[in-house]
Amino acid sequence: MSTTTRQAEALNLALSSPPTSSRGLIVGTDLLSGQLVVHDPYTAYEDKVISSVNVAVIGDVGKGKSSLLKTWACIRQLMLGNRRVVVLDKKLQGGRGEYTALARFLGAPSIRFSLDGTGSRLNLLDPVIALGGEQIDDAGHALDNIERPTGQMMLLRAVLSEALGRPVTEREGKALRLALLAATRDARERDRVPVIGDVVHHLLHPSAVDADALSRTVDELQDWGLDCAFALERMIQEDLAGLVDGETSLDVNLDHPSGLTHIDLSALPTEGPALRVVMALVNTWQTNMLAARSERAEQTVNIIEEGWHVAEGSIGEVLRRNAKISRGLGLATVLGTHHVPDLPPGSPGRALLREAETRFIYCQGSYDDAYACAELYNLPPGTAETIMALDQGTCLLQIGSRDPILVRHERSPREIALTDTDGALTGIVWRV
């Protein structure tokens, strides 16, 4: 039977366009078209699709959030060869952080922080952090408009605010600044690294030279810093004992050949300041380290699984500040959290969720939680009901201002084994 080309046009069935660019890392399958979903925040930034490389991953327990973080945000990033991944791991599994098995598979050590004196230590006054020393006044306000990583003074003020349970006053800020400068100077003269105990000493024993420069007596300057000294002393002897009160342990570094740095925070209690302070300290140390290496143009993915819900106040502001300068450091912060309402409106964590331009939303069993996601990201009407009906391993992916894509996350057999977290319940241990 003969026909013409005009008549045969009817046989040319419409083809759906790809849901994403072909440049990046495989995420999974578009459930509507069956095509591959490919995305990488760095590549999308290069292609002008997004203006922020930060990522939010939201979902109920057991819906597949951790599997995505361990594969797409960790293993697959490392496969590119020019990426590093730093994981702040708060989730406990088998007495260790949940990423311990993955770290062992990759041959990377786990840097474990604990309160029993057996873990690693990160010096609050590590010289690396001094690289971010922006100029701030005694009230804690920045004196320049240059975006830099948090410095020692700002971090020290945040920790002290945590210890005092209130903001640092201007007089306390002045005493703290003078004590920090004196501690750094004395340590340098003795050819060693300053530690927080040195700051406490100089708060309790200010110099006559500093007092004269302020037209005050030594007793007056000492009085300005007494509450700071006692609060810091108590914190480093009790809440933070063995964590920040000495020189940084040799195992705390970003240079493992595997590309993975696993920070195990699972032994730190959620209650109290230890988790908040160590999270801020690790994040600040890492950010300053990356700033020092900025000429290498390295790209680093920073995964924070849980924990942001406790990062509020001055500590939360330190974390958010570091995240906001990610563009200049090649740093992508990937935040995993259960529910949007876990992070109060106006909190640093909620702000980071809002600013992330790559969003993976897994099932939310509660309508309030699902609606909070839809409202935060201005998703189409009816999306809350879709979020509530998502199966395990499926999610909505929104990239920038584009319409969300319904995605089934795909894993290889080895990735399935590496991301299994049910061993304690099922008694089945996967071999990799």
Global pTM? 0.85
pLDDT tens, position by position, 52-62:
999 999 999 99
- Percentage of residues in the chain having pLDDT higher than 70: 86
Q: Which of 237, 272, 297 is the last residue of a domain?
A: 237
Q: How many domains does the chain have?
A: 2
**Segment 155-177 mean pLDDT:** 90
Residue 310 DSSP label = G
Do the domain assignments include residue 170?
Answer: yes
In this structure, the answer to whether residues 414 and 288 fall within a common structural domain is yes
- Examine the domain organization and report whether 210 and 285 are in the same domain: no
Position with higher pLDDT, 425 vs 293: 293
- Long-range CB contacts (within 8 A, 24+) of 80-83: 80/25, 82/298, 82/299, 83/259, 83/299, 83/300, 83/301
By the 10 Å C-beta count (0-12 exposed, 13-18 middle, 19+ buried), 419 is classed as buried
Residues 109 and 131 in one domain: no
The most confident of 180-189, 273-282, 412-421, by mean pLDDT:
180-189
- Does residue 395 share a domain with residue 346? yes
Same domain, 422 and 344: yes
**The predicted structure's pLDDT at residue 289:** 82
Answer yes or no: is 380 within a domain: yes
pLDDT at 200: 95
pLDDT tens for 323-374 read: 777 777 888 999 999 999 988 888 888 888 898 999 999 999 999 999 999 9
Residue 102's pLDDT is what? 93
pLDDT band at 431 (very low <50, low <70, confident <90, very high): very low
| pLDDT in the model for residue 99 | 94
Does the pLDDT at position 140 exceed 50? no
| Domain CATH number, residue 294 | 3.40.50.300
What range defines the domain where residue 326 resides? Answer: 8-113+253-426
Residues 189 and 265 occupy one common structural domain: no
What does the pLDDT read at residue 8?
56
The mean pLDDT value of the chain amounts to 85
pLDDT band at 145 (very low <50, low <70, confident <90, very high): very low
153, part of any domain: yes
pLDDT of 432 over the 60 cut:
no
Residue 218 CA to residue 196 CA, distance in Å, equals: 21
**pLDDT band at 274; cut points 50, 70, 90:** confident
Tell me whether residue 245 is in a domain: no
Inter-axis angle of helices 218-237 and 152-164, nearest 10: 80
What string of DSSP letters covers 332-362?
A: EEEEEES-GGGS-TTSHHHHHHHH-SEEEE-
Residue 134: is its pLDDT beyond 70?
no
Tell whether 283 and 371 lie within a shared domain. yes
Check whether residue 60 and residue 138 sit in a common domain.
Answer: no
Lowest mean pLDDT segment, chosen from 17-21, 111-115, 187-191: 17-21
Check whether residue 63 and residue 91 sit in a common domain: yes
Read off the pLDDT of residues 226-241 as tens digits, 9 standing for 90 and up.
Answer: 999 999 999 888 888 8
